[in-house]
């Protein structure tokens, strides 16, 4: 039995699924058919593993399980292809996923948002396995595509796959956050890694009227894809078009100080001030409320510490290592113990942010937008730029 016969789905089945959900539009169907996903996937993959913990411990190896590999390739799921920046080797999973072939629904939703036109000059930040670069090359021509990848090994293997498939975009090894000035200006920019801020250099390299599509993550958590239109004054603005969960651009990764540095070497609760709250930590744990909270807060991030019996402690910390809070979740409880320490009352800030989101009718990702001023300052808004999202704290 051939690999293609190993599953009833295959390329056509995945195409039908993506078109039924609206992710794959007719404009991109010819490119989808011409650029087989299997040509841009390595032999060993980890299906369904994102930035959060989860997924199988062992990968799927095409050489020993061709049916399982092919089935995974033509499912609507992300495929992790590298762990720990390449330091991890072998079939077992590593610690942090650092490269993937993205979920097809996300790939084609972002390509649809990019709205490329015939002859558009496109910059892709994050070559990865090369699939996106090949799709773009098929649509607008290799001569109009520049793709940049920070990891030399990933860049080399992507280049080999692109060559084998007959595509020859400008492929660069470098810092994607700085774009690639040599081929600028661009009509479209597609960023396939999560950003904490929109690089000013990317906006400068995009023509007025050009579009930048990128995942945007708040410091607190939550993430969504934003579609920015660049203006003549050097600003950029546009709506979020849907939830996302991409690996972080390497230049935008952060180091978190250990909790013991916040407690000053003392055991919990150290000098934490005790209060109680009726807002459950579970009510602020989902991706959407995290995103709404993150748009309103600054330099604060969460960490859930699992305990026995379904209990856990939600820790909040500030990036300057001056303040912390802990909120103890107990299933079925109506009140939850809070401890706060430092000049900022982090749980109080979070409650205020959640209350604002609740008062607005709990808007979804698509009602939010982002504007980046000419000096690079970002600010979020609800429904239109005339209604900025308030900051708390």
Catalytic residues: 102
Q: Return the number of other C-beta atoms located less than 10 Å from residue 157's C-beta.
A: 21
Farthest-apart Cα atoms in the chain, separation: 67
Strand 60-61 relative to strand 44-47: parallel, antiparallel, unpaired? antiparallel
Three-class secondary structure of residue 321 per DSSP: coil
Q: Phi then psi for 141, rounded to 5 degrees? A: 95, 135
Tokens of 337: 């113990």
CA 36 vs. chain centroid, Å, equals 24
Torsion over CA of 252, 237, 125 and 98, rounded to 10 degrees?
40
What's the rounded Cα separation, in Å, for the pair 34 and 22?
A: 19
What's the rounded Cα separation, in Å, for the pair 229 and 63?
A: 45
What's the rounded Cα separation, in Å, for the pair 42 and 96?
A: 18
In total, the chain counts a number of residues equal to 393
Residue 276 belongs to what H/E stretch? strand 273-277
Please give the full DSSP string across 184-239, using - where no structure is assigned.
--EEEEEE-SBBSS--HHHHHTEEEEEEEEEEEE-SSS-EEEEEEEEPTTS-EEEE
Query: Which DSSP state fits 48?
Result: T
Tokens of 218: 């708040």
Query: Which DSSP state fits 166?
Result: T
| Among the listed residues 89, 102, 90, the one whose alpha carbon sits nearest the alpha carbon of residue 40 | 102
| Among the listed residues 149, 365, 176, 189, the one whose alpha carbon sits nearest the alpha carbon of residue 252 | 176
């Amino acid at each position: 039995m051939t690999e293609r016969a190993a599953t009833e789905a295959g390329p056509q089945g995945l195409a039908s699924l993506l078109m039924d959900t609206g992710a794959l539009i007719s404009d991109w169907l010819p490119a989808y058919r011409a650029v087989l996903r299997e040509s841009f996937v390595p032999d060993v993959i980890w299906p369904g593993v994102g930035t959060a913990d989860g997924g199988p411990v062992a990968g799927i190896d095409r050489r020993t399980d061709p049916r399982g590999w092919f089935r995974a390739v033509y499912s609507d799921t992300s495929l992790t292809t590298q762990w720990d920046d390449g330091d991890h080797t072998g079939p077992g999973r590593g610690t942090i996923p650092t490269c993937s072939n993205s979920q097809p629904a996300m790939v084609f939703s972002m390509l649809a948002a990019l709205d490329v036109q015939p002859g558009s000059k496109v910059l892709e930040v994050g070559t990865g396995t090369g699939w996106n670069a090949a799709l773009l090359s098929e649509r607008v021509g290799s001569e109009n595509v520049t793709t940049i990848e920070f990891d030399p090994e990933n860049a080399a293997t992507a280049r080999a796959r692109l060559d084998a498939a007959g595509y020859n975009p400008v492929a660069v090894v470098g810092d994607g956050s700085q774009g690639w000035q040599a081929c600028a200006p661009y009509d479209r920019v597609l960023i396939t890694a999560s950003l904490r801020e929109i690089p000013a250099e990317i906006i400068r390299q995009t023509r007025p009227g050009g579009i930048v599509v990128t995942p945007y993550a708040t410091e607190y958590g939550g993430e969504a894809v934003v579609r920015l239109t660049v203006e003549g004054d050097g600003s950029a603005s546009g709506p979020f078009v849907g939830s996302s969960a991409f690996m972080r651009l390497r230049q935008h990764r952060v180091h978190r100080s250990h909790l013991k540095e916040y407690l000053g070497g003392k055991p919990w609760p150290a000098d934490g001030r005790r209060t109680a709250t009726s807002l459950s930590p579970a009510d602020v744990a989902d991706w959407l409320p995290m995103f709404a909270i993150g748009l309103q807060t600054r330099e604060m991030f969460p960490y859930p510490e699992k305990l026995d019996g379904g209990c856990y402690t939600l820790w909040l910390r500030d990036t300057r290592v001056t303040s912390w809070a802990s909120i103890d979740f107990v299933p079925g409880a109506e009140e939850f113990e809070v401890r706060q320490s430092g000049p900022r009352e982090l749980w109080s800030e979070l409650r205020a942010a959640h209350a604002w989101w609740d008062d607005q009718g709990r808007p979804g990702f698509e009602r939010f937008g982002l504007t980046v001023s000419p000096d690079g300052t970002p600010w979020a808004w609800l429904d239109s730029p005339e209604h900025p999202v308030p900051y708390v704290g």
